[in-house]
Structure 1
């Protein structure tokens, strides 16, 4: 899959391998490939390339429950057979070219067929991934009618006439699926709603720096949308997506049976957007696209994969996660661990004066939020820690614990800087942040006269942000002066 090898995506939540394997086994195309592998025997004949001979396609279609005389059944049988061969569910012996046109090869069930019922979930999923590769390759091929028209005198495909570049087509489809994956994990989640086809097409065609697409670009969006409509029809039977095709009545409403330029790109705001097609990655589809991304060198984390890692690896990773995904990862990490020891490990990992320290402490605080009385001893142990003492006092006070020592001024100001630095790192300059700044400064007289002296690596950075964001103009001016002092002090 084409992708930036150093890109990092939001974490995805996936079902267990066992559940995913069950989804794979009932995917219509994969299930048909399994049935044909069991059907194959001594009388099965194949051509060069392992394809079933034409005379056997009706019999294969009947084995799948289709009418033997139905042309569509023969097409579906041919596709399922190709998947069976490519995945190793069927072993074929191709005919020898020297034996003449009358000779044909043979096919028998492959050794991998036994994995369907006797293999581990991971082995079943490996078979499904191989099937997915076959289907993706098929989906990248243009209409066969166009291929026939593009044959040259020697029977070879004239790619220039066809205007088809196999690598370019494969990269386009990979890019579409990568964008669909990102939209799913970043905005909707695995159980979220479908993505309008025009949105997906526009993401591949309209340059990010183009504020107003031209008519030519909008026409490209419409063309890409119809291309995707055909490709997702092919990808749905393997269980990759749930797809609602473009409404055929919509196509009939146009004079030339093509979408008018701009209609597809503008459909996202229309109440009838579903008529232009909707697509959603299934949980199995998320698994499959993630597997291809990992193979391409893309960092595509999944919730739960840090469960056996140390607290330092956990906090470093979830510092870059959205809050919900971070909480889910933390919960899985805590499962099965002795809570007092786990809390102590989390607190130790939260220390540090590096740039990531504030956000690690915020995620640590998030991890400790649901902890009960059994965590109290570990939290009390860091009351005197200059970096964790404020966090510990907040946690103990929220639970009404007695004898919590009051923090001194230095700790209060240090915790304030750390908290704002963490919020900036987690969410950027949100609309809520000025209100937090106003609340913090309102409770401390002479706040800016003291805070610039705080021994925190983010002091100047936080004060500069307060100078930009504080809703009170006078306080914002004081923050800018304090930031200058802090920068001077640091240098």
Structure 2
């Protein structure tokens, strides 16, 4: 899979391997491949490419439960057979290999044979990881097939001699595979993003537009809208092929709509459809196609990303790491994912020891220190009385003493020493620096700034002296964002003093 590494790719929450394996076994295409592998035997005939002989397709379709009236049965059997061969569920012998080849009734054509492969035993006797490995191999086959033009395009591209004219077809296998990989990477990112569309399916035009329209483009041109429409129809065909392997849940484009809508309507769908008041009409959106990665699909796309060198974390993979690795990693996670990872990390440890380890890992005057302390505070939030001794142990620590006092005070613990002025100002700078690192300049941050500063007379006359590496940076942000204009002006002056002090 070709995809660009994404340094801040959010972690995905996946079910257990056992549950994912169960999903894989009931995916229609994979289940059909397994059934055909069990059906294969001395009677089976394959051509030089390992495909079932045409005369045997009806028999294979019947083995899958399709009757003579099921027109799609032979096609579905052929597809399932290809998956069975490619995954090793079936072993084939090419025509002419030893004495295994067999001719047709007239002896004009030789066929190879096929038997169940050794890997078929893994379906029932292997570990969940073995089943998932077979499913990933099946996914590779389906993705390769999905990147091939449809039959109508191939027929249109035939030259006078019946050969495919690739120039007329305008098909580049590598380009098509990269396009589909890019689509799936975008769909993955939309799914795992905390503020993305993870709770619902993605409108197909939105996904197509993400591949065609540059982020910095204003009003799309007619040519770009036409490209979006073409990409959307290509995705409609591809997702129809990807759904049977269990990768996605897909609602195709309404065929009646295809005849009604023009390119501009396709491109606009999913972004501004609906009623006159701007509310999206779910039924209108769904007519343009909807797609969602399944949990098995998330697993599969993540596996391909990892193979391509993309950093794609999963919640729970830090459970056996130290607190320093945990805090460094979750500092870049969205808050919900960070909390889930922290909870799994804590669940396998004695709480007093874990709290002490977290506090030690939270120290540091480096740029990432404020956010580590914020995540440490988040980790300590659900801790009970058994954590008190470890928290009290850092009351005199210049970096952790403020955090410890907040934690103890929130639990109504008696005899918590009041912080001195230097600690109060240091904690204020650290808190704002952490919020800026976590979420940037959000709408809520000015309110936090007001809350932290309005209770301290002469705050800006003193805060610029705070020995914190982020002091000037925080004051500059306060100068831009503080809701009180007078306070914002004082913050800018204090920021200048802090910069001068650093130099």
Q: Cα 1:16–1:234, aligned 2, differ >3 Å: closer, same or farther?
A: same
Q: Cα 1:8–1:299, aligned 2, differ >3 Å: closer, same or farther?
A: farther
CA distance in structure 2 between the aligned counterparts of 1:490 and 1:98, rounded to whole angstroms: 92
Please state how far the C-alpha of 1:158 moved relative to its aligned partner.
Answer: 2.4
- TM-score (normalizing by structure 2): 0.93
CA distance in structure 2 between the aligned counterparts of 1:101 and 1:480, rounded to whole angstroms: 90
168, 175, 179: which one aligns with 1:168: 175
Q: Cα 1:188–1:455, aligned 2, differ >3 Å: closer, same or farther?
A: closer
CA distance in structure 2 between the aligned counterparts of 1:69 and 1:429, rounded to whole angstroms: 63
Please state how far the C-alpha of 1:62 moved relative to its aligned partner.
Answer: 0.1
Please state how far the C-alpha of 1:180 moved relative to its aligned partner.
Answer: 0.5
CA distance in structure 2 between the aligned counterparts of 1:187 and 1:49, rounded to whole angstroms: 46
C-alpha contact (below 8 Å) 1:147/1:157 kept by paired residues? yes
- What residue is the counterpart of 1:251 in the other structure? 258
Please state how far the C-alpha of 1:264 moved relative to its aligned partner.
Answer: 18
Q: Secondary structure at the match of 2:263?
A: coil
C-alpha contact (below 8 Å) 1:12/1:190 kept by paired residues? no
C-alpha contact (below 8 Å) 1:198/1:265 kept by paired residues? no
Q: Secondary structure at the match of 1:341?
A: helix
Say yes or no: does 1:398 pair with 2:405: no
Q: Secondary structure at the match of 1:92?
A: strand
Q: Cα 1:14–1:188, aligned 2, differ >3 Å: closer, same or farther?
A: farther
C-alpha contact (below 8 Å) 2:274/2:281 kept by paired residues? no
C-alpha contact (below 8 Å) 1:21/1:122 kept by paired residues? yes
Structure 1: any 5+ residue segments left out of the alignment?
Answer: none
Please state how far the C-alpha of 1:102 moved relative to its aligned partner.
Answer: 1.3
Please state how far the C-alpha of 1:36 moved relative to its aligned partner.
Answer: 0.1
Q: Cα 1:189–1:473, aligned 2, differ >3 Å: closer, same or farther?
A: closer
Q: Secondary structure at the match of 2:249?
A: strand
C-alpha contact (below 8 Å) 1:6/1:297 kept by paired residues? no
C-alpha contact (below 8 Å) 1:198/1:268 kept by paired residues? no
Q: Secondary structure at the match of 2:115?
A: strand
C-alpha contact (below 8 Å) 2:203/2:289 kept by paired residues? yes
Please state how far the C-alpha of 1:6 moved relative to its aligned partner.
Answer: 5.3
Please state how far the C-alpha of 1:154 moved relative to its aligned partner.
Answer: 6.7
Q: Cα 1:369–1:7, aligned 2, differ >3 Å: closer, same or farther?
A: closer
Please state how far the C-alpha of 1:249 moved relative to its aligned partner.
Answer: 2.0
CA distance in structure 2 between the aligned counterparts of 1:428 and 1:99, rounded to whole angstroms: 76
CA distance in structure 1 between the aligned counterparts of 2:276 and 2:308, rounded to whole angstroms: 31
CA distance in structure 2 between the aligned counterparts of 1:115 and 1:189, rounded to whole angstroms: 37
Q: Secondary structure at the match of 2:404?
A: helix
C-alpha contact (below 8 Å) 2:10/2:334 kept by paired residues? yes
Q: Cα 1:346–1:458, aligned 2, differ >3 Å: closer, same or farther?
A: same
Q: RMSD of the TM alignment (CA)?
A: 2.8
Q: Secondary structure at the match of 1:355?
A: coil
CA distance in structure 1 between the aligned counterparts of 2:66 and 2:396, rounded to whole angstroms: 75
Q: Cα 1:469–1:485, aligned 2, differ >3 Å: closer, same or farther?
A: same
C-alpha contact (below 8 Å) 2:275/2:281 kept by paired residues? no
Q: Does 351-360 or 433-442 show the bigger shift?
A: 433-442
CA distance in structure 1 between the aligned counterparts of 2:261 and 2:403, rounded to whole angstroms: 64
Structure 2: any 5+ residue segments left out of the alignment?
Answer: 96-103, 267-272
CA distance in structure 2 between the aligned counterparts of 1:255 and 1:398, rounded to whole angstroms: 60
Q: Secondary structure at the match of 2:210?
A: helix
**1:38-90 superposed Cα distances (whole Å, 9 cap, x missing partner):** 00000100001100000000000000000145331000000000000000000
Please state how far the C-alpha of 1:161 moved relative to its aligned partner.
Answer: 1.2
Please state how far the C-alpha of 1:199 moved relative to its aligned partner.
Answer: 0.4
C-alpha contact (below 8 Å) 1:382/1:389 kept by paired residues? yes
- What residue is the counterpart of 2:85 in the other structure? 85
Q: Does 33-42 or 67-76 show the bigger shift?
A: 67-76
**1:411-447 superposed Cα distances (whole Å, 9 cap, x missing partner):** 0000000000000001111111111111111110110
C-alpha contact (below 8 Å) 1:251/1:258 kept by paired residues? no
Please state how far the C-alpha of 1:336 moved relative to its aligned partner.
Answer: 1.6
Q: Secondary structure at the match of 2:13?
A: coil
- Across the two proteins, how many residue pairs are aligned to each other? 489
Please state how far the C-alpha of 1:248 moved relative to its aligned partner.
Answer: 1.6
CA distance in structure 2 between the aligned counterparts of 1:227 and 1:22, rounded to whole angstroms: 30
C-alpha contact (below 8 Å) 1:199/1:265 kept by paired residues? no
